[in-house]
Amino acid sequence: MTDQGPDACETDQLADVPVDDRPRHIAIIMDGNGRWAQNKGLPRIEGHRHGVNTVRMISETATELKIAAITLYCLSSENWKRPQAELDFLMHLLEQYLIEERRTIMDQGLRLKIIGRRDRLPEDVLTEMDRTLQMSANNAGTELVLAIDYGGRDEITKVTRDIASEVAAGTLELDAVDENTINSRLYTADLPEVDLLIRSGGDMRVSNFLLWQISYSEIWITEKSWPEFTRQDFLNAIREFHSRQRRFGGLNVNE
């Protein structure tokens, strides 16, 4: 389902959608930064710069709507194949974001969480990341999860190795390994299940993002690139989520 057709969101604050009927955890594939910039005759890096403004707007809106967690796909494990100049800018932008957004994070009561690998990130980025993580650790608002150098297959491989090591060491019985065993070892173990996956940019794929966690997520796709994604688009996605019947493999009672 995409955002085509009339605007489905009638109220700016979704007052008629109870908090308990909103998604608890929203994951977002923030696609289209580079294409947006190129379409405007700008360098690709300008798309990433403008995309930060959308991130700020989404975190503010999620806080207002009392969403428990939002997970943003910032850098995939495959993105290291991009030109070095673009990667250098992305690292600079990430470091800048971690510094400049601290006041906003604290004012909104956001609790920052980072998922993905750390070993390939520059030391200066890791330093600012850890400072912001520590500063926001006791906040009680929306959990702002940044997926950085993250890949779903890489995460599942890591969990599999960890479980295999525990079984080999005799600290975990093979017969005790089930879905809960895997869930408890994922980066997102302390977060609610992903209820809604949003993708900007129009592509119809999940791009190795939270492969285990989105098994029963509702999916909402917009043709808009991430820098042009609006608050209204975010509200529309939540409203459509509210309108869907989630069966989780079962049947609706009326069918």
List active site positions: 31, 79
CB atoms under 10 Å from CB of 56, counted, come to: 15
Q: What are phi and psi of 153, to 5 degrees?
A: -65, -40
d(CA 57, CA 76): 22
What is the helix, strand, coil percentage profile of the chain, to 5?
45, 15, 40
Q: Note the helical H segments in 83-224.
A: 84-100, 102-108, 123-136, 152-169, 179-183
Which amino acid makes up residue 41?
G
